[in-house]
A and B are shown apart, each in its own frame.
Chain A
Amino acid sequence: MRIVVPGEMIADSPKEISYAYIDGDKTYSSVVGLFSEQDLRLIPLQGPYVPITEDVVVGVVEDVKFAGYNMDITSPYKGFLLAKECGREQFDLGDIVLAKVRDVDEVKNVNLIEPRKLLNGEIIEISSVKVPRVIGKKSSMLEMIKAATKCEIHVGKNGRIWIKGQNSATATRAILKIEKEAHTDGLTDRIGAFLKEQTGDINGQ
Chain B
Amino acid sequence: MANDSEKPQLLVNGKRIDGRALDEIREIKIQAGILNKADGSAYLEWGNNKILAAVYGPKECIPKHDMNPYKAVIHCRYAMAPFSSLEEHGRSGPNRRSTELSKVIREVFENVIFTELYPKTAIDIFIEILQGDGGTRCAGITAASVALANAGIPMKDLVAAVAVGKIGGEVGIDFSKDEDNFGESDLPLAIAPRNNEILLLQMDGLLTKEELNKAFGMAFEAVKRINKIQSEAVRAVYKNTE
Contact = CB atoms under 8 A, between A and B. Distances in A.
A73 to B, nearest CB: 12
Contacts of A148: none
Contact of A108 (B59, B120, B151): B120
A163 B76 CA distance: 38
Contacts, number: 89
Q: Is the interface on chain A under 10, 10 to 19, 20 to 34, or 35 or more residues? A: 20 to 34
Interface string A109-152: 00000000000000000010100000000000000000000000
A183 B60 contact: no
A2 to B, nearest CB: 9
B60 A46 contact: no
Nearest to A5: B231
A19 interface: yes
Nearest to A34: B238
A146 to B, nearest CB: 24
B154 interface: yes
Contacts of B242: 181, 184
B156 A48 contact: no
A200 interface: no
Interface of A: 3, 5-8, 19, 21, 23, 28, 30-32, 44-48, 50, 76-78, 107-108, 127, 129, 180-181, 183-184
Interface of B: 39-40, 57-60, 69, 114, 117-121, 149-158, 192-195, 227, 230-231, 234-235, 238, 241-242
